Structure 1
Amino acid sequence: MFTGLVEEVGRMRSISRQGEAMKLTIGAEVVTRGVALGDSISVNGVCLTVTSYDAASFTADVMPETYRKSSLHLLKPGDSVNLERAMQAGARFGGHIVQGHVDGTGKVIARYVDANAIVFRIEPDTQEQLRYIIPKGSITIDGISLTVVEASNDHFTVSIIPHTLAGTALRLRQPGDTVNLESDIIGKYVDHLLHFRSGTQPAEKPQSKLTADYLTQHGFM
């Protein structure tokens, strides 16, 4: 589990591909401190397993499901990536619960200045992802824990302070770029449980029943 607080911006050293399988070697100095084989590291929001490492880099495999669901297949040697080690028990929880299991990708459709912040407008690649994106809720973008400002039927916005922008690879994202998206896990579990109890599947219900009255009726509030 991660918190969405990026520890370091790493750089892609090499990428090998075999169909929809990949092996990534990433240059890093912070997340490799104390690393061990089998450790989890979030790479642009995707939880990957360390298969080899040295003091200045680590290697991880990307399986076909991850290849298809994330933007990792778009990476090139030299690209910058957001990195975070798995959360330690007892550490400060500065972001929100991030699994590193991305729901899919989205496209940056606008970027503009709002006083001391930069606002990104993002359009998810599927309508289903918007189901779990709510104003003032949490969203993970390329591994960064952010707060949703506005959400509509086809896009959402986030506002980013200079510190976060400077310390992550998000500073490089421009309109047209693809980013990884992971919605708040709590909303996904509650939605699944409500549909399970009602005997329906989420795919059969394009309109969510998650209202305050509905949550109260079913014992969640």
Structure 2
Amino acid sequence: MCTRFVYRGDNIITGFNFDIDIVEWNHKVINTKDCFYIGIMRPDGMRHSYHGVNRNGNVGTLLYVHGNLSGTYQDSKDCITIADLVEKFIQAEVSFDDALQILKERKIVYAADATMQAMLSDKHGRTLVVEPGIGWREDEGRYSLITNYSILAPESTRPFVVPEDDRYEKASKMLNIYGNHFTVNNAFSILQAVCQEGIWATRVSFVYSAEENAVYYVQNNNFSQIGKYEF
């Protein structure tokens, strides 16, 4: 259960809540010269960057979604997994324009062991919503927002909406309040409003300011202690 948004005002600001079951997913916040990311331990023994920021302004995040058969994993040169695409974007192995070309030329599928959708954005606020088996779109407007249900084909995941899960509606209502001026603190107020508790609690929340080229983050819903990482 995660929440991600991009706000295009006088500063390009992106926010992300990382909600997971820590029994299932071993994670660690990692800072390198070129990247800030939430490292997820995978069966290959490496911590992969499926949620993070590159110093060039690329921001990529995966979000769980109830899968569809059309997005099923395929081991084919004509396909790329959503996880691989997002990681390559975060590591700046592909640019925003590269990602666009990949989406036009190759089929995007789920990883072999997880069904995820994604949001990719750059320092200019250009944003892609990518849903394996359904499609993709380049977003425009004041903001982009995604949680764990399909944006492109809402009816496909409507039967799986968790009762009382109003994160999307709550975040959208708050994002609609702001005009051209939107701050890091505004972003955190939204993330805090939709943060989760319990087994699938929010483990990491981060906000990226393109103007500052810096990431602000908190862990375990401790919004009174905000860390900062500047590239």
Which category of TM-score, normalised to the shorter sequence, fits these structures?
under 0.3
- Using structure 2 for the length normalisation, give the TM-score: 0.24
Q: Using CA pairs below 8 Å that are at least 6 residues apart, which structure has the higher relative contact order?
A: 2
TM-score (norm 1): 0.25
Larger C-alpha radius of gyration, 1 or 2?
1
